[in-house]
Amino acid sequence: MRGSSRLFYLRVSSQMSTARTGVLPTRRRGRDRVAAILDAAAAVFAERGFDAATMTEIASAACTAIGSLYRFFPNKDLLADAVFSRYADSMLDTLDVLVLQAPLLGPEALAEALVASGLQQRPYRDAAVALADERNEGPLLRKALRASIRDKVGLILAAATGLPATQAARMAPMVLQAMKAAPVLLREGLDPEAVVAEARRMIACYVAGSMQPACTAAGR
Q: What is the CATH number of the domain that holds 19?
A: 1.10.357.10
Q: Structure pTM? A: 0.81
Please, are residues 137 and 12 in contact by the beta-carbon 8 Å criterion? yes
Alpha-carbon dihedral sign for residues 171, 173, 176, 180: negative
- Count of domains for the chain: 1
Contacts of 66 (CB under 8 A, 6+ apart): 55, 56, 59
What would the pLDDT profile of 186-199 be if each residue is shown by its tens digit?
Answer: 777 778 899 899 99
78 vs 189, residue with greater confidence:
78
Rounded to the nearest 5 percent, the helix, strand and coil shares of the chain are 85, 0, 15
What is the dihedral angle through the alpha carbons of 127, 132, 138, 144, rounded to the nearest 10 degrees? 80
CA distance 134 to 50: 6
Domain span at residue 166 reads: 4-219
What would the pLDDT profile of 137-175 be if each residue is shown by its tens digit?
Answer: 888 888 889 999 999 999 999 999 999 999 999 999 999
Q: Which long-range contacts (CB under 8 A, 24 or more apart) does 38-45 make?
A: 38/82, 38/83, 38/86, 39/123, 41/79, 41/80, 41/82, 41/83, 41/127, 42/83, 42/86, 42/87, 42/123, 42/124, 42/126, 42/127, 43/123, 43/127, 45/80, 45/83, 45/127, 45/130, 45/131
> What is the per-residue pLDDT for 158?
96
